[in-house]
């Protein structure tokens, strides 16, 4: 019986694949080792919501690159359609798409679980955030009818990097949390000694706590 492929899970290694793009052949995730990358799928070229998304991603491309992150688009369209669509965006919207777009035959979409029942051969609006070691760290899924918020994707990327580099967690709406503002959360204690130690450190001013399980601090 043929194995049915589905969406990969958080923490999985991004599947190894060779893909044809508007910028040549890429080997994923190997060609991006040492960098983060965001791979995002769109239903089809020459569609209105997707056009607004590509412009929005391009306008924030410098911000992604400042976070050591590259962008990769994908849809089940031929590379010729991608190129023509890029040209249309440049000629009509005065925006030049600089990141590669995968021309998928359907194999990549099947590998990543991007084709959903009832939606024909169009891919859903998926976002995979992959770290420097090729591990899937965040996955977003959107219906075809809803365009993505690129600032949230940027926020999620930056939040994961801050978490990795500082062993902390990020509160809701970070860095503009309603209670903690831009402060970060120290992971809760998992044993009695650490819980007591947290309160002692808070008393010394090393960080602040509402209680032993909710401690927070300012990033250095």
Question: What is the C-alpha to C-alpha distance for residues 161 and 155, in angstroms, rounded to an integer?
Answer: 10
Q: Which two tokens stand for residue 55?
A: 């412009």
Q: How many CB atoms lie within 10 A of CB 65?
A: 14
| 114, 122 contact by CB (below 8 A) | no
Q: Which candidate in 50, 69, 209, 215 is catalytic?
A: 50
Can 50 be counted among the known catalytic residues? yes
Long-range contacts for 90-96 (Cβ within 8 Å, ≥24 apart)? Answer: 93/51, 93/55, 95/54, 95/55, 95/58, 95/59, 96/58
Q: Which two tokens stand for residue 99?
A: 């990141």
| 136, 90 contact by CB (below 8 A) | no
Question: What is the C-alpha to C-alpha distance for residues 106 and 201, in angstroms, rounded to an integer?
Answer: 55
- CA gyration radius for the chain? 20
Interior/surface letters 18-52, b for 16+ CB within 10 angstroms, e for the rest:
ebbbbeeebebbeebeeebbbbbbbbbbeeebbbe
Catalytic residues: 50
């Amino acid at each position: 019986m043929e194995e049915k492929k589905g969406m990969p899970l958080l923490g999985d290694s991004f599947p190894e694949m060779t893909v044809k793009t508007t910028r040549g052949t890429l080997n994923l995730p190997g060609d991006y080792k040492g960098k983060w990358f965001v791979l995002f799928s769109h239903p089809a070229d020459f569609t209105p919501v997707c056009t607004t998304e590509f412009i929005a991603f391009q306008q924030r491309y410098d911000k992604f690159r400042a976070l050591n992150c590259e962008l990769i688009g994908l849809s089940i369209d031929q590379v010729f359609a991608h190129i023509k669509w890029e040209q249309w965006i440049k000629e009509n919207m005065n925006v030049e798409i600089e990141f590669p777009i995968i021309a998928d035959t359907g194999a990549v979409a099947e590998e990543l679980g991007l084709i959903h029942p009832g939606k024909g051969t169009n891919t859903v609006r998926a976002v995979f955030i992959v770290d420097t070691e090729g591990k899937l760290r965040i996955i977003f899924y959107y219906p075809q009818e809803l365009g993505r918020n690129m600032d949230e994707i940027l926020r999620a990327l930056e939040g994961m990097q801050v978490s990795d580099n500082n062993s902390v967690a990020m509160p809701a709406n970070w860095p503009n949390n309603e209670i903690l503002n831009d402060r970060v959360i120290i992971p809760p204690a998992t044993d009695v000694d650490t819980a007591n130690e947290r309160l002692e450190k808070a008393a010394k001013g090393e960080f602040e706590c509402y209680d032993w399980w909710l401690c927070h601090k300012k990033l250095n």
